[in-house]
Structure 1
């Protein structure tokens, strides 16, 4: 009986050891997935951050708005300035009412005469611009006049005070107009005067001045 009891005890002991071993084996198997889950989590987070950083870099390089720009300037507000906007200028004509007023202000040499407009160089970039007036149906010796306008296309006066013939603009720039006046010196034909002189009408910053002088033969003493 004693031998049998010891044998049974030994068998029970072995079973207990086997059971513990089996439990230990189950715990190890269960812990392994937990370790894998923790290890896999950081790569997922790193990938997400890298993607966001790439998007920001691409946006900075491509710029913002219709004209693009550099990355550092994307979020920079446009500078402000107290300066007045640059004046836009170019070829433009006086308002019809202003042109009519200018023509009407110049008397003709008699009731049978009427002005017609001639050559002009209207440009609001210029300090002064001009328009020539000719006598309707006239010849080369018929009265003419020169209208002068400022850069706002406002009429500011005539070249000289009286109407004379043989007037021709031969040059113009931003602030001056050069005019040639011919005149008779003797018995030459009216269509071929031999005398000639030039004057320049110049803007001096506040008004138009005439550089040069006209002989009496040009004005006939009228101005």
Structure 2
């Protein structure tokens, strides 16, 4: 198992927001984590990437404890986190933002190869490589956020709400590109409000409800589940 979250409890101050969450991610999978606002989806990703510390439980990456590592060492280990809201450096160019994504690497050839791969995935970024990130459209900024995360050629890509605020056509493009990234050998953990789109590209999914795993199954089974349809897919 590539990533194992075991009995994870997370608190913000005295308030516990995750109550014993367990999630398994196999190498090569896309795993979607679904749930309403406040269910604990973003907190789960933040804890994997070391930005939030668990009160209890453990996170294992290839069997090694991840929850005791510092955030920058987790990036070095091969886990990239694309947070909700994109978090661009607006006064830097597209190219400069991408280079910042490779801060853990000194291998210039590898950096160039990764950059070319990202420009293949997102040709519009190549066209705009000398443009300030703050002047890009929302969709282009999301592509840049994903590209920046890919600059370390991660083993696992953690994505938080990549479709947020995007037009439907752009959402389709982003999700198709996620499938290409996965086909290139990158395991994906996807937190997404657009449950239908997320489950269509995922292998398996988990449903979080108020900090607990309410359901877990193959993605096709979750898409067909009446409870999931009513709660997250707007009915059948």
Q: State the TM-score, normalizing by the size of structure 1.
A: 0.23
Of the two structures, which has the highest relative contact order with CA contacts closer than 8 Å and spacing of 6 or more? 2
User: Which structure has the bigger radius of gyration?
Assistant: 1
TM-score, normalised relative to structure 2 = 0.22
Structure richer in helix, relative to its length: 2
